[in-house]
Structure 1
Amino acid sequence: MTASNELQALIYGRLVADPGVHAICADRIYDAPSKDAPFPYVSFGPSDVVEDDAECITGRTETIQLDCWSRTSGKFKEVKSLADAVKKALHKYDGALTVNALVQMRVLGIRFFKDPDNITTHGVVTVEAMIEEN
């Protein structure tokens, strides 16, 4: 399994199992949500990888965007609660990967905005993970 896929699986598992996230969106964590996915939910967005090798270690820093979605008449309360729950579940999480090694994971920031339809609110949680590749 690639380091990126393994990291995504780890994040998915953590979010599905987290009581704070579950209280808001149950198990609605999607790689690619359908057009009729019920709100609120979290979806995986773009990611990027920067090589971060050291002597005798092949490493990478991967940044992943997690998108939190709500549709409560343009109000931000639900999406902010969901994004904060995602941050709490992932920031400094020290879970284990099976093939590679997670050195550190942290949430770099959260942004909130209203989508053009004026009823959907969107929270973007930026997660950074340092990984030693096997």
Structure 2
Amino acid sequence: MEQRIEETRKRDKDHASKLKQTVVDLSSSSVIHKKDCQIALSQHKIMKKKLSKLENLEVFRTKHIEAIMKATEALALGQQHDQMFTKEDDVEAKEAYDSGEQECDSSSEFDDMKNIESQLENRN
């Protein structure tokens, strides 16, 4: 009978030891899980900030593209206006020059203008 009691105590002791080890394992597993959760939460927060920055960057990029498009349109309109303005000015200047040439055909002023014009062309 004592032998049975000893065997039972030994089994109980082994069982208690195994239960203690299980509790320790579960406890350490819980600590590891808690740390993993904290790491995952930190990574989530970091990714959320990065996403926010990317969204802001996308908004900036869209606005930048819109500004470039508006500037390109303005430049095209400005160039078109310059071309039209220059053509009109050229026509008016030619007409004024031709009318002045006709008025000055017989005078010495025309010869003076031609001399000045040829001197300017020689400089260029």
- Report the TM range for the smaller structure's normalisation: under 0.3
Q: TM-score by structure 1 length?
A: 0.18
Higher strand proportion (structure 1 or 2): 1
Higher helix proportion (structure 1 or 2): 2
Q: TM-score by structure 2 length?
A: 0.19
Q: Which has the larger radius of gyration?
A: 2
